Amino acid sequence: MLDGRKINVGVLGATGTVGQRFISLLAEHPFFVIHALGASPRSAGKHYAKAVNWKQVRPIPSQVREIIVHECKPEHFLECEVVFSGLDADVAGDIEASFRLAELAVFSNAKNFRRDPNVPLIVPLVNPTHLSMIRQQRALHSPPLKKGFIVTNANCSTTGAVVPLAVLEKAFGPLESCIITTMQAISGAGYPGLPSFDILDNVVPYISGEEEKIEWETLKILGGIVDDDEGQKVFDMHSRQPLRVSASCNRVPVIEGHTECVSVRFARRPPPSPQQVREALQGYTSDVYTMGCPSAPRHTIFVHEEADRPQPRLDRDYQAGAGVCVGRVRQCRVLDIKFVVLANNVAIGAATSSIINAEYAAIKGEI
C-alpha cells in the first residue's frame, strides 16, 4: 500500500479518554508508528505509564510505556508526519493551529475547526473525498503552507446517524427531513464524566451544544463541494436539496455506545419500502474499505433482523467498533422510514474515524 514505508505519528491529549483509545488502536497499526506523546504541563516530563490513569480494557502497549510525555508544542513533534488530536475543545484550537503552522498534518477529534470553511469535516465511511479541500486550506493560509493542514472528524452522535443517512441518499435520492433522538453513553463526556449521583437510575435530557452539532454537521457532511462566484471551493451544506434535521439528545447510564432513533422522509415519491432500505444499508461498502484503509470495517453497516437489536452491550465492539449497526427498520407513520442506529462513540465516533481519515490521506499521497 505504502511500499513498506512507516509514518511517525504523535498523539495530543494522550492521557485522556480519546488519547488512550488512539494509543490502543495505533499500537498495532501496520504503518503508523507512535513516536511522540503530548499532554498537559503536569504530565510533561514523565514516562507515559506514570502520567496516565489508564482506563482501557487492554494493558498499556509496551512500546509507549517508557515514552516521555511532552507538552503539546510543535517542537517536540517535528519528527512526526501526522498528529492525532484528542485534546479538549477548551485548549485544542490554538494548539492545533500551531501544529498546522509547523507543517504537520493534524487529524482532530475536537470541535474547534469543524465550522471552518476550509477545513473538511469527514466521517470516513461517508465523505472521504472532502479531503480535497485541504489544498485550498493550505493555499489560503497566511502564510501559505506546503504540508500542514487540519482535518476534523464529526461529533460522536453525528457520526452514527450520518452513515445510514448517506447510504439512503445514495440509493434513493435526497432526504427532505430527519428526526434524531439520541441515547448517549457517559464516555462521550470524557473521564471522569458525570457524577454517579447524576446518572445512575436516571436519564439526563440535555447535553450542551449536542443538538446543534448534529443538526449543522449533518449538512456539511452530506453536502457537496462547489465553486463560488470567486472560483473558490465551498461546502454547499446540502443546499441543492434543503434538508431539515431535528435532534434531541439524552445522556443515559451506558458506558460506551450511542444509540439513536432516526426517522426520515425522502424527497422522491413514493418512498422506498423497509425491505429496500434494509438491502441498501446491508449492501453498502465504503470507499475507504475498497481503497484498502486497514482500519476500515468490512461491513460499513450491519443490519440486524432481531426485533431487540442493536444493543450497546452486545453490539458496540463488533468489528472493533469501526462500523455502525442498524436495526428495527420499519415504516414511519409520520415521515417515511424509521430505524435504530448504534455506534461506538469512542471508536468510529472518535479515534477510529481520525485514524481512517489519516490512512486515506496517506494512500492518496497527501502525507
**Catalytic position from the list 156, 178, 249, 325:** 156
**pLDDT of 1:** 60
**pLDDT of 190:** 87
**Catalytic position from the list 130, 258, 293, 304:** 258
What backbone torsions phi and psi does residue 184 show, to the nearest 5 degrees? -100, 140
What backbone torsions phi and psi does residue 266 show, to the nearest 5 degrees? -90, 150
304 is catalytic: no
CA dist list (Å): 288 to 217, 279, 293, 337, 357: 20, 20, 6, 27, 9
Domain with CATH 3.30.360.10 in the chain: 156-344
Q: Which residues contact 324 (CB under 8 A, 6 or more apart)?
A: 125, 160, 163, 164, 300, 301, 302, 341, 342, 343, 348
pLDDT of the chain along its 367 residues, tens only?
677 889 999 999 999 999 999 999 999 999 999 999 999 999 999 999 999 999 999 999 999 999 999 999 999 999 999 999 999 999 999 999 999 999 999 999 999 999 999 999 999 999 999 999 999 999 999 999 999 999 999 999 999 999 999 999 999 999 999 999 999 999 999 888 899 999 999 999 999 999 999 999 999 999 999 999 999 999 999 999 999 999 999 999 999 999 999 999 999 999 999 999 999 999 999 999 999 999 999 999 999 999 999 999 999 999 999 999 999 999 999 999 999 999 999 999 999 999 999 999 999 999 9
Rounded Cα gap, residues 91 and 40, in angstroms = 10
The highest-level CATH class for domain 156-344 is: alpha beta
**pLDDT of 192:** 87
Considering the domain 7-155+351-363 in this protein, what is its CATH number?
Answer: 3.40.50.720
Chain segment 218-237, per-residue pLDDT in tens: 999 999 999 999 999 999 99
Best CA proximity match to 339, nearest among 324, 350, 320: 324
Domain with CATH 3.40.50.720 in the chain: 7-155+351-363
User: How long is the chain?
Assistant: 367
Rounded Cα gap, residues 249 and 157, in angstroms = 9
- The C-alpha cell 498537559 sits at 40
Per-residue three-class SS string for 209-262: CHHHHHHHHHHHHHCCEEECCCCCEEECCCCCCCCEEEEEEEECCCCCCEEEEE
- The C-alpha cell 488530536 sits at 85
Give the pTM.
Answer: 0.97
Chain segment 51-91, per-residue pLDDT in tens: 999 999 999 999 999 999 999 999 999 999 999 999 999 99
130 is catalytic: no
